[in-house]
């Protein structure tokens, strides 16, 4: 974690992360945790990660952009900056040769602003603004809150034990959520981060021993939402 020495500078107010490109993969949870736990506390924002269609060690796909965004938000990021070829290192038109090694996969900024990942960022924004997302606490693979078959690629944040959000982008979502209210009733659903569609998992359920086995996600990367239902 490379927070020093900036974190102790009197003029320093927040951490800007550069999550990298397709040759480095999404930022590891451990790195996010280093910034999240840093004292004195500073907000962190993922400002440059997997910019869509930018060629830097490989061309980043909409999947790359989406995965880094969801992972950042559930790892305590105070925000996320989406970027795209043509917009980053502005490419005016197809004849613009500036930064061509990075932007050759796209013709102009007009194309860049309408790439699929941009629409998927709207899905992400609508999801988080519909709930009190600043109240979420990232769990960073803490086995006291969940155990996963793929703990790096199943990213969990919770609001106490009232709301569990897990973004699973690996091959499996197999795992167990813990510390559920043994007297409460929960509802679980899978959320599609591409379209915003919601698919119910099993309707209302109870967890008398405080644990619940996570089913397999529908495909690719999906978000699990498990919410405690308010009593009548």
Residue range 8-22, pLDDT digits in tens: 788 989 999 988 777
Three-point CA angle 82, 84, 90, nearest 5°:
120
If asked whether residues 199 and 112 sit together in one domain, one would say no
- Rounded to the nearest 10 degrees, the angle between the axes of helix 116-129 and helix 62-74 is 20
If asked whether residues 42 and 122 sit together in one domain, one would say yes
Provide mean pLDDT across the span 170-197: 97
If asked whether residues 22 and 122 sit together in one domain, one would say yes
If asked whether residues 171 and 201 sit together in one domain, one would say yes
The reply to whether 195 falls in a domain is yes
Q: With pLDDT > 70 as the criterion, what percentage of the chain qualifies?
A: 97
More confident residue, 110 or 124: 124
Choosing from 130, 153, 179, the residue where a domain stops is 130
User: CA 167, 173, 175, 178 torsion: positive or negative?
Assistant: positive
* Domain CATH code at residue 188: 2.60.40
The reply to whether 1 falls in a domain is no
If asked whether residues 106 and 154 sit together in one domain, one would say no
If asked whether residues 113 and 196 sit together in one domain, one would say no
The reply to whether 107 falls in a domain is yes
The reply to whether 164 falls in a domain is yes
**What is the pairing mode between strands 44-46 and 15-17?**
parallel
Q: Do the beta carbons of residue 229 and residue 180 sit within 8 Å? A: no
If asked whether residues 114 and 188 sit together in one domain, one would say no
- Backbone φ/ψ region at 93: left (φ over 0), alpha (ψ -120 to 50), beta: beta
Q: What is the largest CA-CA distance in the chain?
A: 65
**What is the pairing mode between strands 146-148 and 175-177?**
antiparallel
- Report the mean per-residue pLDDT for the chain: 91
If asked whether residues 10 and 109 sit together in one domain, one would say yes
**Pick from 68, 58, 62, 75: which is nearest to 169 by CA?**
68
**Where does residue 23 rank: exposed (0-12), middle (13-18), buried (19+ CB within 10 A)?**
exposed
Instruction: Supply the range of the domain harboring residue 95.
Output: 6-130
If asked whether residues 110 and 150 sit together in one domain, one would say no
Q: With pLDDT > 90 as the criterion, what percentage of the chain qualifies?
A: 72
Domain count of the chain?
A: 2
User: Model's pTM, two decimal places?
Assistant: 0.94
Provide mean pLDDT across the span 196-210: 92
If asked whether residues 122 and 149 sit together in one domain, one would say no
How far apart CA 42 and CA 151 sit, in angstroms, is: 26
pLDDT attached to residue 4: 61
Write the pLDDT tens digit of every residue in 35-72: 999 988 889 999 999 999 988 888 899 999 999 999 99
- 5 upstream amide cis, omega within 30 of 0: yes
């Amino acid at each position: 974690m490379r927070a020093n020495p900036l974190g102790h500078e009197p003029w320093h107010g927040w951490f800007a992360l550069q999550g990298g490109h397709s040759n480095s993969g999404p930022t590891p949870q451990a790195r996010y945790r280093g910034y999240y736990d840093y004292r004195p506390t500073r907000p962190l924002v993922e400002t440059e990660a997997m910019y869509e269609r930018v060629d830097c060690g490989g061309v980043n796909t909409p999947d790359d952009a989406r995965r880094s965004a969801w992972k950042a938000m559930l790892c305590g990021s105070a925000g996320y900056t989406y970027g795209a070829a043509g917009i980053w290192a502005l490419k005016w038109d197809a004849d613009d040769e500036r930064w061509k090694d990075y932007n050759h996969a796209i013709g102009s900024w007009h194309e860049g602003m309408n790439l699929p990942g941009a629409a998927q960022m709207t899905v992400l924004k609508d999801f988080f603004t519909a709930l009190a997302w600043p109240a979420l606490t990232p769990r960073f693979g803490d086995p006291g809150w969940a155990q996963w078959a793929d703990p790096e690629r199943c990213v969990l944040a919770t609001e106490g034990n009232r709301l569990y959000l897990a973004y699973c982008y690996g091959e499996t979502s197999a795992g167990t959520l813990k510390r559920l209210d043994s007297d409460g009733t929960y509802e679980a659903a899978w959320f599609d981060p591409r379209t915003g569609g919601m698919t119910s998992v099993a309707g209302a359920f109870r967890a008398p021993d405080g644990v619940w086995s996570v089913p397999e996600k529908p495909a690719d990367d999906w978000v699990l939402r498990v919410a405690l239902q308010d009593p009548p």
